[in-house]
A = this chain, B = another copy of it.
C-alpha cells in the first residue's frame, strides 16, 4: 500500500514543462515582457532545447507567447475578439472599414472554389485581395472570388486592376439583393503569401473562414479569409468586444 500510484502514468516532460511555464507566465510575467532565450531556459529546466521548444510551441499555439526570429520570445496579450459575419447579413465592403481592398485581378480559382461558385474549370473570375487590420496589426488576409455573372455591369476597360478596381467590383456586387451568407471555420496553415501579409512564418496556424454569399439561390461570391490563429478569437453574432480573462491550465479563453 501507499506510494500513491508512483508515476504509473508518466507525464511527458514537455507537457509538464508547459504547465510550469504557463503558471510562471501568470504569476511572474506581464504582457510584452521578454522571456530568457531558449538555450538558457532549456538549461534552467535541465532539458534539451528541442524539448523546451515543444513546450513553447504549444504555448504559442494557445496564444500565450509570441516568438520572433532574431528578436526573442515575448508574453502575448490576450486574444482579440474579431467579429465575423456580425453585420447581420451584408455584402463585403458594405459600411465596412475593417477590410481594406488591396487589388483585383482576373484569375482561375482553385478547383474547390470553382466548384462552389458553379463556374467552369479554368474560367477566370474577379479575384479581390483584401487585408483586415485590428488594433493596429494585420489579423486576416482574404481572397474574394466574384464570378463575372455577379457583376454584369462592370466596365472592364477603365480600371483593369489595382485597389480602385477592387472597390469597383465591391460596389457592383452590392447592387445585387443579398439572400443570406454561410460561414465555415476550419484550421489551416498559412501559405507563403498569406504568412508574409500576416507577419508570420509560412505554415503558421490560421483559422480559415469560408463565406458563401448567396443571391437568387446562387453563390454570388465566395470569400476565403485566413485569420491568425494565435492572436484572434472569432466571434459570431455580436460585436466581438467582450473581454475575457485568462484561464490557467490549458486550452484558451
- Chain A residues close to B by CB (< 8 Å): 15, 18, 58, 61-63, 79, 81, 85, 110-113, 115-116, 180-191, 202-203, 205-208, 210, 224, 226, 229-230, 232-238, 240, 242, 244-247, 249-253
Q: Is A186 a contact partner of B247 (Cβ separation < 8 A)? A: no
A51 to chain B, nearest CB (A): 12
CA distance A165 to B88 in the complex (A): 36
Q: Count copies of this chain in the complex.
A: 2
Instruction: With CB as the reference atom, state the residue of chain B lying closest to A191.
Output: B250
Contact, CB under 8 Å: B182 / A79: no
Closest residue of chain B to A208 (Cβ to Cβ) is B252
Q: Give A96 to B245 CA distance when docked, in angstroms.
A: 31
**How long is the Cα–Cα vector from A246 to B62 in the complex, in angstroms?**
27
Find out whether the CB atom of B236 lies under 8 angstroms from the CB atom of A189.
no
Contact partner of A187 among B61, B191, B203, B244, CB < 8 A? B61
Most chain B CB inside 10 Å of its own CB: which residue of A63, A116, A184, A205: A184
Provided the pairs A233-B185, A233-B186 are in contact, do residues A191 and B224 lie with their beta carbons within 8 angstroms? Answer: no
- Contact among B58, B187, B235, B251 for A252, CB-based, below 8 A: B187
Instruction: Give the interface centre of A15, A185, A234, A235 by most chain B CB atoms within 10 Å.
Output: A185
Q: How far is the CB of A158 from chain B (nearest CB, A)?
A: 33
A9's nearest neighbour on chain B, judged by CB, is: B192
B205:A205 contact, CB within 8 angstroms: yes
Known pairs A110-B249, A115-B245 / 6 extra A-B pairs, C-beta < 8 Å: A112-B244, A184-B242, A186-B207, A189-B250, A208-B253, A210-B253
A184 to B169, CA, bound (A): 30
